[in-house]
Amino acid sequence: MGWKKARRRTATSAGLVGVVALVLAAPPSVGAEPRAGTAQLFGAAAAQQHASPAPPPPRLPRDFRGKGKWIVRDLDITVPFTWEGRDGDSQMTAGGPQYPIWFTNLIYHDTLYTLTYKWPGLNEHPCSRIPGFNLEALNQGFENARFVGPETLRRTPQRHVNHWRVGVVFPNLPPGNYPRVPLALGDIYVDEDNRGTFWQVLQFGVQNLYDPELDEWLVMDTFEHRPGTVTLPQRCEPPR
């Protein structure tokens, strides 16, 4: 899980880590409804606890391929989206040269890359690199995710999912009256029968700095557990 656009000046990577930085209070899940037994986290608080223990947290597989949509609601932009993994490397690609948004994020050979080709109002297009980050580091981050509850994504077909939340604040301080800054949040929806099948992710926070409302969605229509294609853009290759 993005890691979306890594910011050159903020040193914050996105897409799934934004789904790596990830806390701010997020709105209720769009297109999802809690199933029986799910504690209500919004509106009037309900203190009901889940009778059964939380399922294992999300875990992105080494090999997968899927297609869907990247949605930026406040800009009224929806573009095609692909997410693929091969031997532990992975790549997100949203849009293309004919769309108003076009970017790619990669975990490739233990480095996180982000290259934004097109974005409204953006004139700089560097390839950002964060070395020392790989699939294992991403999945370790998911280990600290909080289980929100089982939900149903109201689509065709409907998806029964487990909703997880990942967040980051700075600095990391104990409970109490301490100054702290909420950085980012990720809401992750994985198949209830397979924590390695990702159906939807909301990223909210500084990793979405290019978007005025700081939130972007990825919604998958397909997700298969077979090797995809991962290609490092020429612009991101180290100089020779």
Look at residue 221 and tell me if it is in a domain: yes
Coil, helix or strand at residue 75 = helix
The long-range contacts involving 141-144, CB below 8 angstroms and separated by at least 24 positions, are 141/17, 141/20, 141/22, 141/166, 142/1, 142/57, 142/58, 142/59, 142/60, 142/166, 142/188, 143/57, 144/57
Look at residue 209 and tell me if it is in a domain: yes
Can you give the residue range of the structural domain that contains 224? 3-42+58-232
Q: What is the CATH number of the domain that holds 117?
A: 2.50.20
Look at residue 238 and tell me if it is in a domain: no
Look at residue 240 and tell me if it is in a domain: no
Per-residue confidence of the chain (240 residues) as pLDDT tens digits?
Answer: 444 443 333 333 334 334 443 322 333 344 566 654 333 333 333 334 445 689 999 999 999 999 999 999 999 999 999 999 999 999 999 999 999 999 999 999 999 999 999 999 988 889 999 999 999 999 999 999 999 999 999 999 999 999 999 988 788 888 889 888 777 789 999 999 999 999 999 987 767 778 777 789 999 999 999 999 999 999 999 877
Q: How many CA atoms lie within 13 A of 98 on its CB side?
A: 1
C-alpha distances (whole Å) from 4 to each of 88, 112, 177, 202 are 18, 10, 32, 11
The strand pair at 181-191 and 159-170 is best described as antiparallel
Question: Taking Cα atoms as reference points, which of 86, 116, 112 lies closest to residue 99?
Answer: 116
Q: Could you tell me the pTM of the whole model?
A: 0.79
Name the DSSP letter for residue 12.
-
Look at residue 53 and tell me if it is in a domain: no
d(CA 92, CA 90): 7
Look at residue 50 and tell me if it is in a domain: no
Look at residue 48 and tell me if it is in a domain: no
Cis amide leading into 126 (omega within 30): no
pLDDT in the model for residue 210 = 80
pLDDT in the model for residue 34 = 62
The number of folded domains in the chain is 1
Look at residue 239 and tell me if it is in a domain: no
